[in-house]
Amino acid sequence: MKQSNLLKTFILILLGLSASLSASLSAADWSSAGFSLVNSKSDSPGVTTDTLQDKNNNEVMVTYTGELSDRNIRVIEKYNNDFRSWTSMKVKSIKFGVANDEIQVFVSPENYVYNETNIMDYLPTGISFTYKVNLMYNFRIMVEKLFVPIRGIYIDEKSFSDKILSAIKDPITYINARDPEYLVERLDKLNVEFQRLRSAALAEANGNRLVDSHIVDLVLDIKSKNPSFTYKEIYTKIDKEKLAKTNSDVVRSILRIYFNEY
């Protein structure tokens, strides 16, 4: 009987020591940020995974190397509170990974409905973020059998959700608008259209007669080399050096259209 009681007492002591050891494995001061430490374990040398509970009893997992700085703990506290305060999304779980000054955040939503659209229908995995100076997001949604990349700087719930919604409604336009080659092509087309409008305005100012592009280039070249020159000085130079056959009104119109000089 005495041996049985001694054995029970010994087991209770071991359990108490085990719980105390588990809590002491983490050097992070979680209580200062409103977290309580549930479990702490080391999967490999120098790598620790802490299982926490926030003040609302939500579970949070944090994996980190070395020791966590107070700054890292505050960032974890901030974004745990932020994501769980969304009106359009209910969080299923949040996992943080910390290495040096970079914090990875992986949010798994339980449900996510924005403007009557169920975002979960387009979200094959969770939502990935990276924090250094700003919180950046980089993940994909699936729309009409297309993987659409969603990237940017996180500002707030509305702008973030609006961006996803625009990709869902028109994925092709969304992808093209962020494709470098597409943007270059669009800029080239806009530049051509802009030059066409300039030429039309110049022709109208010249009595609906087209102005030779050589004269336009010549005036622009002289002006760029001599920013203080007026239209009269530019025309005098062209006429005196016999660089082209034109008149002062044309030179004046070119400066008005290209440099907004009257």
pLDDT (average), residues 102-107: 95
Q: What residue segments make up the domains of the chain, in order of their start?
A: 26-170, 181-259
Top-confidence residue, 90 or 28: 90
Q: Does residue 6 have a pLDDT over 80?
A: no
Return the number of other C-beta atoms located less than 10 Å from residue 239's C-beta. 15
Q: Does residue 12 have a pLDDT over 60?
A: no
Q: Does residue 101 have a pLDDT over 90?
A: no
State the chain's mean pLDDT as an integer.
83
pLDDT of amino acid 98: 94
- List, in sequence order, every residue forming a beta bridge with 52; answer none if it has no partner: 37, 60
Return phi, psi of residue 67, to 5°. Answer: -115, 145
- Token representation of residue 95: 């996992």
Q: Does residue 36 have a pLDDT over 90?
A: yes
Distance CA(59)–CA(77), nearest Å, equals 12
Nearest partner of 86 among 159, 19, 183, 174, judged by Cα: 159
Distance CA(256)–CA(4), nearest Å, equals 103
The pLDDT tens digits of the residues spanning 42-86 come to 877 788 999 999 999 999 999 998 888 899 999 999 999 999 999
The alpha carbon of 54 is separated from its chain's Cα centroid by a whole number of angstroms, namely: 27
pLDDT of amino acid 204: 82
pLDDT of amino acid 203: 81
Residues in contact with 230: Cβ distance below 8 Å, sequence separation at least 6, in sequence order = none
Top-confidence residue, 17 or 205: 205
The alpha carbon of 97 is separated from its chain's Cα centroid by a whole number of angstroms, namely: 19
Top-confidence residue, 261 or 37: 37
The angle, 0 to 180 degrees and rounded to 10, between the axes of the packed helices 213-225 and 231-240 is 110
pTM value is 0.60
Q: Does residue 135 have a pLDDT over 90?
A: yes
